[in-house]
Chain A
Amino acid sequence: MKTNFKKIATDGVITQNPTLKLVLGTCPTLALTTMAMNGIYMGLAVTFVLICSNVLISLLRKLIPSQVRIPAFVLIIATFVTLVRLLLDKLLPDAYEVLGLYLPLIVVNCIILARAESFASKNGVIASATDGLFMGIGFTLALTLMGAFREILGAGAVFGITLWNFQIGFFSSSAGSFFTYALFIAIFSLVSSTISKSKRKKLSRLNGENLTAEV
């Protein structure tokens, strides 16, 4: 079967965006989006784990008995999360400090286990790696945009660069994170439903034209 890479890419970033469409991995999304940079750090860590675990699970998918697939997947994911922790502590100590408790919690991030179960265990290595990459990009984009929004309104800055002295403290608080998340989900749903409606209209118009031509 031929792999549709374009579909995998659009699924990961738009149609099945893990954060805004599937509402997975909400714990780091709510806790770490106080700054845009935190979103990038978390997104990159998750992307690395997604790609590596997807590749390994895809490689071993015929060897792992289905009865023990979940513990095996968790074992593989936990290994890559530990590796990310070691890498960040050594190479990017600031990111390691910022992510703190949420870094080891990647092990139980639903996005990674869901992709392992629903995609990597049924598809080839290259397709699984691509899926991991684009799911990671979708997650990173959502977290970075939400982080930038909250940082601009809550701290008057973006990526640590001060823009103005105006700040709304609410957006830096926990309540602000829930509000921002809900707002982003609403906007995303609105935009994606508008696009799909216009696509459907275009398709039905084309079908109508074809029917007229046939008649």
Chain B
Amino acid sequence: MKDQNNKLSSFFNSVWFRCISVLLVLTVVLSSTLAIFNDVLYVSASERTDRALKKIYGVIPNYTTLLDVDSLEDGINKTVINYNLDADADFEGAINKIYVIGDQNGEHDELFQSVGFEGYKGGSITLWVRVKYLSNGNKKIEQVLLQEYDKQTLMSKLNSAFYNRFLVDVTNAYNDGNLFTTASGKGQFSNPVSGATYSANAGNNAVNCVVAYVGGVQ
């Protein structure tokens, strides 16, 4: 009995037991603290949308939601629009959010959050694309803003020149077969980036989704 007690006592006093218990306690306490802060400091999808709107318009404007996959409200379309099944289209992407800013019957903006796939290592790029619907019926891309990306390592090569090349009239672009492409010379909207072709491809795909939507593929 005494021998057993000694064994037990030496087990609890051993260095390795102390090491493991200290590491375990630290892990439990620190991860619990982080879990609490993660909840307290959580940034919701609507907060991120408001931030993007503020970045684009300076203030958060009044808007109508046409589509929002993250919306918690009833009556709002939450079905993502995928563009990867179209055999004719040479791109893969999806539209997650569409907001209408201004009067839909007159001159107004439509703001799209679209994801372009087929990036580097099969990753994606999410962009905000602002399309202006003019009173004469023309539709022009006014602004393209990066929201986030996945698996891309050379995003710094996608500079303002890359985003500015998207700012064109896209009224008949999809029906005329003019999509953004990384191949120089192919199609009307050539938008390559030397050294970051895959990432540029994902960016182009994101905008091509919007071009397709504006062109009537909904």
Contacts and interface: CB of A to CB of B under 8 A. Distances in A.
A3 interface: no
B22 A87 contact: no
Contacts of A86: 37-38, 41
A63 B25 CA distance: 11
B15 A72 contact: no
Interface of A: 60, 63-65, 67-68, 71-72, 75-76, 79, 82-83, 86-87, 89-90, 93
Contacts of A82: 34
B26 A72 contact: yes
Secondary structure class of chain A's binding surface, majority of residues:
helix
A76 B26 CA distance: 8
| Secondary structure of the B contact surface, majority rule | helix
A79 B18 CA distance: 21
B41 A68 contact: no
Contacts of B43: 89-90, 93
Closest 7 pairs (CB-CB, A-B): A90-B41, A86-B41, A79-B30, A68-B19, A65-B19, A65-B18, A67-B19
A72 B37 contact: no
Interface residues on B, range: 10 to 19
A120 to B, nearest CB: 15
A72 B23 contact: yes
A60 B25 CA distance: 12
A119 to B, nearest CB: 20
Contacts of A67: 15, 19
Contact of A75 (B18, B23, B41, B51): B23
Interface string B27-50: 100110110011001110000000
Nearest to A87: B41
Nearest to B29: A79
A68 B23 contact: yes
A83 B32 CA distance: 12
Contacts of B26: 60, 72, 75-76
Contacts of A71: 23
B7 to A, nearest CB: 21
B22 A68 contact: yes
A60 B42 CA distance: 29
A85 to B, nearest CB: 9
Nearest to B21: A65
B15 A83 contact: no
A79 B38 CA distance: 11
B15 A65 contact: yes
Given A89-B41, A90-B41, A90-B43, A79 B34 contact: yes
A91 to B, nearest CB: 8
Nearest to A80: B30
Contacts of A68: 19, 22-23
Given A67-B19, A72-B26, A93-B43, 11 more contacts: A60-B26, A63-B22, A64-B22, A65-B19, A71-B23, A75-B23, A76-B26, A79-B31, A82-B34, A87-B41, A90-B42
Contacts of B42: 90
B17 to A, nearest CB: 10
Contacts of A93: 43, 51
B52 to A, nearest CB: 10
A69 B146 CA distance: 41
B95 to A, nearest CB: 23
18 contacts: A60-B26, A65-B19, A67-B15, A68-B19, A68-B22, A72-B22, A72-B23, A72-B26, A75-B27, A76-B30, A79-B30, A79-B31, A86-B41, A87-B41, A90-B41, A90-B43, A93-B43, A93-B51
